[in-house]
């Protein structure tokens, strides 16, 4: 079967391929597992299946973390792909290194989700950003409810 790139609902995919509904769902599931299909919509909307010929790597970088936790959503300026686990602490450091105003505003909301202050400040020391992290924390504390920073890491 020759699949073309494009966006399909389940009904249009069934009509295009000539498969039964359940067979089409099974095929879409197998393609999704290989990374050839991405799904959007659902719940009250129809699901849209986007089929591509090349596998799409999942984005698990800075912008996906910030957009998950921050009410200020950012449009990705670049594609950030990370192998392995990408923590909120690494996202704070990367946000400071990017350094534009909107990114810093969105990064302040990440302080609500810090799990390891030690990891954050070890990364900050490694990148020479300790004072920047402390200043951003003070700004975040003034704007939102944040976890309290331990005494040893305060200004």
User: pLDDT, tens digit, for every residue of 85-120?
Assistant: 899 999 999 999 998 999 999 999 999 999 999 999
Q: Which residues of the chain have pLDDT under 50?
A: none
Domain ranges for the chain: 6-51, 62-153
* In contact, 31 and 51? CB cutoff 8 Å: yes
Q: What is the 3-state secondary structure (H, E, C) of the chain?
A: CCCCCEEECHHHHHHHHCCCHHHHHHHHHHHHHHCCEEEECCCCCCCEEEECCCCCCCCCCHHHHHHHHCCCCCCCCCCCCCCCCCCHHHHHHHHHHHCCHHHHHHHHHHHHHCCCHHHHHHHHHHCCCHHHHHHHHHHHHHHCCCCCCCHHHCC
Q: How many other CB atoms sit within 10 Å of the CB of residue 7?
A: 12
pLDDT for position 57: 74
What's the CATH number of domain 6-51, 3.30.460.10, 1.10.10.10, 3.40.50.150, 1.10.150.250? 1.10.10.10
pLDDT for position 112: 95
């Amino acid at each position: 079967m020759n699949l073309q790139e494009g966006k399909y609902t389940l009904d249009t995919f069934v009509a295009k391929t000539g498969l039964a509904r359940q067979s089409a769902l099974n095929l879409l599931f197998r393609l999704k597992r290989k990374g050839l299909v991405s799904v959007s919509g659902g719940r009250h909307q129809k699901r849209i299946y986007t089929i591509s010929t090349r596998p799409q790597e999942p984005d698990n970088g800075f912008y996906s973390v910030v957009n998950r936790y921050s009410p200020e959503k950012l449009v990705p300026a670049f594609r950030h792909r990370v192998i392995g686990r990408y923590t909120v602490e690494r996202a704070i450091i990367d946000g400071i290194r990017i350094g534009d105003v909107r990114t810093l505003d969105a990064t302040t909301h990440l302080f609500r989700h810090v799990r390891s202050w030690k990891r954050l400040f070890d990364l900050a020391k490694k990148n020479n950003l300790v004072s920047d992290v402390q200043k951003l924390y003070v700004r975040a504390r003034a704007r939102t409810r944040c976890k309290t920073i331990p005494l040893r890491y305060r200004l």
